[in-house]
Amino acid sequence: MSALRRSDWIMAGWCALLTGAILAPALRPGYILAYDMVATPRPPLDWRSMGLGDALPRAVPQDAVVAVVALAIRGDLVQKAALVAVVFAAALGAARLVPADRLVPAARLGPPLVAATVYAWSAYLGERLFIGHWGLLAAYAALPWLVRAAFAVRAGERGAAWRVVACGAPAFLTPSGGVIALGTAVALLATVRRGWAALGGLALLTAPWIVAGLLGPAPGRSDPAGVAAFAPRAENWSGTIGALLTLGGVWNRGAMPASRAGWLTPILGIAVLALAAAGATSMRRAWPAGSLTALATAAAVGVGLAAAGALPGSRRIVALAVESVPGAGLLRDGQKLIAPFALLVAVAAAAGAHRIASWLDGRGERLAATAVLVTAVLLPIAALPDLAGLPGLGARRLTAVHYPPEWDRVAALTARSPGELVTLPFGAFRAYPWNGGRTALDPADRYFAVPVVVDDELVVGGQGAAKVRGESPRAATIRAALAGGRPLAAEGVRWALVERDQPGEVPPQALAGMRQVYQDGSLALYENPAAPDPPLPALWRRLTLLAAYLLALATVVTSVIVNRVHVRVRKSRTDW
């Protein structure tokens, strides 16, 4: 086995080790319910999951893609495979961005290990994982591969534009991920001769959620109160800006690893930033001309937009944009936009560690040089020990569980009579005893094959905290009916599911005119036989959205095939 081959295997093994350490409790049998990440056995594939519901298409095409895969593979296995792929690809992608051919042979393994660890074992990945944003993390994992493909375009490599599209495709599972990937690609390729072909291909991948947003009844504008509610948060003595610069700052305290509040965390984070600063010059020489400046621009814009939601003066501007400009609600949770900065820090820190180690090695201090590389690898782990899925640390957040059997029974009953279902007490999130009391979205919307009205009004921060208005017209109607003491049957609701293990009251008149058809365990199901079947979206809307999906799918398939052909051609020429 050659030295290069051996280093590749070691690198893959380290990335697998990081993945296993982070996801250990999630890989047990069962489903993970953690805030926005909710897996079910067979999520429904319908027009709502494709984006023609009455809410904004924030999980388009993610929900449809998962539903399609779940037709063949059970939902819990789909979830585990997605999480493993995300963490492993993030680590390996960052490692592959380190220019190994520019490193001295003795140090070709250390810097990629540093990059992989800083990028994967980061507060960004941990906080977004704990809050359940796996679709956004797909963009985080795709980013280093997209950047590497963009470098090939900048170098004039034939067919590299198709590689950009193929590598960037996973990022477009959600609008937020697509915006991050497309923004990074624009920074890298907008001034390059062949860059516009790649940018055009990436733009086609936005078709499903852009078309769904235009066709849906929900307004594209959002409640400006969400800007303050979802703004980055200080996590320790370094403040909000310090949290962002050390790759954290998520708005939800429940998703923050406890170690982020420690006094030592910012110091270790600053050490990583110092390594990155030391490696900037090396990166400028090793990467294609102008690449470092382009990625640094994308990183600076991301950090700037994230900070804008947290600073009082700029927060008003962001709030005005969110309230006035359709689609600007993507800026509410600005911390997610620092993904390019996280990638820049990871690769630059690897270059910085290599630079220091090379200097020491040149002075005959080989042991000290090795110690620098080892320390650089261990710094992120020391700063965030509770990202590991170990008992008492991160395990409780991602523990897999099983649904009680009554959920399957309710799914079978409701599938017989299509009609709208409302869960009571009416609220977006649940904390089930069988899920360890962890907060998660109500899984009914993804468990049952009927339209489920979800309360999208959010209370951020607990009782007395900020209330963020929802965007779904139907949810607003149901909310008003319950508040006004009107029965759900009068609103055309067929099914009402009372989750008796959840806090909150069910209004006395809510179930008037409905008959109980099932009760077991924590669930009680009521039916209104007189309720009408929900209408299908207009034919032209369905055809238009289907065309958008087919366009995106054709773009992905074409990019993969053409890129594969170019790889074979290059290999045959090399062999010849």
As a whole number of angstroms, the distance between CA 383 and CA 275 comes to 15
CA distances to 23, 111, 188, 383 from 132, rounded to whole Å, are 13, 30, 29, 22
| CB-based burial label for 568 (10 Å; 0-12, 13-18, 19+) | exposed
Look-up: residue for tokens 């006035």? 324
- pLDDT by residue for the chain (576 residues), tens only, comes to 454 577 788 999 999 999 999 999 899 999 999 999 999 999 999 999 999 988 888 899 999 999 999 999 999 999 999 999 999 999 999 999 998 655 545 456 889 999 999 999 999 999 999 999 999 999 999 999 999 999 999 988 888 999 999 999 999 999 999 999 999 999 999 988 889 999 999 999 999 999 999 998 877 778 888 888 899 999 999 999 999 999 999 999 889 999 999 999 999 999 999 999 999 888 888 888 889 999 999 999 999 999 999 988 898 899 888 888 888 888 889 999 999 999 999 999 999 999 999 888 888 888 998 899 999 999 999 999 999 876 555 556 789 999 999 999 999 999 988 899 999 999 989 999 999 999 999 999 999 999 999 888 887 765 456 788 888 889 999 999 999 999 999 999 999 999 999 998 899 899 999 999 999 989 999 999 999 888 889 999 999 999 999 999 999 999 999 988 866 666 555 444
> Phi/psi at 520 (nearest 5 deg)?
-165, 145
Nearest Cα residue to 170 out of 144, 139, 148: 139
Q: What is the 3-state secondary structure (H, E, C) of 19-85?
A: HHHHHHHHHCCCECEEECEECCCCCCCCHHHHHHCCCCCCCCCHHHHHHHHCCCCCHHHHHHHHHHH
**Cα 368 from Cα 352, distance rounded (Å):** 15
- Torsion sign over Cα 445, 448, 452, 455: negative
Residue count (the chain): 576
Residue 107 has a pLDDT of 57
> Residue 219 — φ and ψ, nearest 5°?
-65, 145
Query: What is the Cα–Cα distance from 533 to 517, expressed in whole angstroms?
Result: 18
The one-character DSSP state at 413 is: H
Q: What is the pLDDT of residue 417?
A: 87
Name the token pair of 130. Answer: 């704990």
d(CA 112, CA 114): 5
Q: b or e along 220-259 (b: 16 or more beta carbons within 10 Å of the residue's beta carbon)?
A: ebbbbbbbbbbbbbbbbebebbbbbbbbbbbbbeebbbeb
CA angle 177, 178, 180 (to 5 degrees): 65
Are the C-beta atoms of residues 349 and 115 closer than 8 Å to each other? yes
Extents of the domains making up the chain: 3-397, 406-527
Are the C-beta atoms of residues 430 and 404 closer than 8 Å to each other?
A: no
Task: HSE, CB side, 13 Å, CA atoms: give it for residue 138.
Answer: 25
Q: How many CB atoms lie within 10 A of CB 397?
A: 24
- 352 phi/psi in degrees, rounded to 5: -65, -40
What is the rounded radius of gyration, in angstroms, for the C-alpha atoms of the chain? 25
Q: What spatial distance separates the first Cα and last Cα of the chain, rounded to whole Å? A: 23
Tokens of 328: 């600007």
| pLDDT tens-place string over residues 163-205 | 999 999 999 999 999 999 999 999 999 988 889 999 999 999 9
The H or E element containing residue 166 is helix 160-168
Question: Residue 1's pLDDT is what?
Answer: 45
Give the number of other CB atoms < 10 A from CB of residue 549. Answer: 19
pLDDT for res 101:
56
> Exposed/middle/buried for 314, CB within 10 Å: 0-12, 13-18, 19+?
middle
In this predicted structure, what is the pLDDT of residue 70?
95
pLDDT digits (tens, 9 = 90+) for 59-70: 999 999 999 999
Strand 495-499 to 421-424 pairing: parallel
CA dihedral sign of residues 441, 443, 446, 449: negative
CB atoms within 10 A of CB 27: 16
